[in-house]
Chain A
Amino acid sequence: MENLALRENGPILDMIIASRDEENRVERRYPLLFDTGSGASAVDESLLLDMGLVARNYGELGFGREKKKTYPLYAAQLSIADVPSRFFRVFIFGIPGYSSDLYRGIVGRDFLQHVKFSYDGVNGDVSVTYPRRR
């Protein structure tokens, strides 16, 4: 079915960000942009702090050709919402104020390396399949 919002705004999907703590698991649902041009996932840091996640590392992140800066990396899990899916462990960059009206961050190749993802811009359709577990 044609999805006008997906066609106009790009592949924005509701994603689940989850803590790694299984006993006191925290999950939040946010719209994130799938971006195959991004080597890492990044979201507004306030979302991660609200979930009680903590930074465990730091990394260098650049926007396009801009000089890279140091940002915190949060240990988390990421999954696609509303479909039978799997969580994948990732380190997500937390960037203060990194949000738009449409989405709260981006999903990069650290997650996309685990799935087969195709975007039909003509019909505004996204398909994601999970390879069989090895």
Chain B
Amino acid sequence: MKRAANGHGKRVLREYRRFEAALPKLLRRYRDRWVVFLDGEVKADYAEEYEAYLAGVKKFGNESPFVVAQVGRPVTATIGPALRL
């Protein structure tokens, strides 16, 4: 995986991996909800992404490695090969 070597990004990635591992359990309760995920658990859930984002920043601060994600709807996209690495 290629990504910039930045400490915050690595901390968020670790939290994201924990989120992925927890998904089977989270789906039962939070399917399609936007969650603020930190320390291996859901801290809050919302209907809208922006609500979750704002709540995460307000409660934990911008430097916190919390993840904002929609449960059961991973972001996946294909982009044109106009620019290739």
Number of interface residues of A (CB under 8 A): 46
Tier of interface size on chain B: 20 to 34
Knowing that A40-B77, A98-B85 are A-B contacts, what are 16 other residue pairs whose CB atoms are under 8 Å apart, sorted by A's residue number? A20-B53, A39-B79, A45-B4, A49-B4, A55-B9, A57-B16, A58-B16, A61-B78, A63-B85, A68-B76, A89-B50, A94-B4, A95-B2, A97-B85, A103-B83, A106-B83
Contact A60:B12 (CB < 8 A) given known A70-B1, A98-B85: no
Q: Does A8 contact B (CB under 8 A)?
A: no
Confirm or deny: A14 has a beta carbon within 8 angstroms of a beta carbon on chain B: no
A residues contacting B by CB (< 8 A) are: 10, 20-21, 33, 35, 37-40, 42, 45-46, 49, 54-64, 66, 68-73, 75, 89, 91, 93-100, 103, 105-106, 108
In the complex, are the beta carbons of B82 and A35 less than 8 A apart?
yes
B77 and A98 contacting across the interface, CB-CB below 8 Å:
no
User: A56 CA to B67 CA in the complex, in Å?
Assistant: 5
Contact of A61 with B4 at beta-carbon distance under 8 Å, contacts A72-B13, A75-B68 already known: no
Q: Return the CB mask of B16-58 against A: 1 if under 8 Å, else 0.
A: 1000000000000000000000000000000001100100110
- A100: min CB distance to chain B, Å: 6
B12 touches A35 (CB 8 A): no
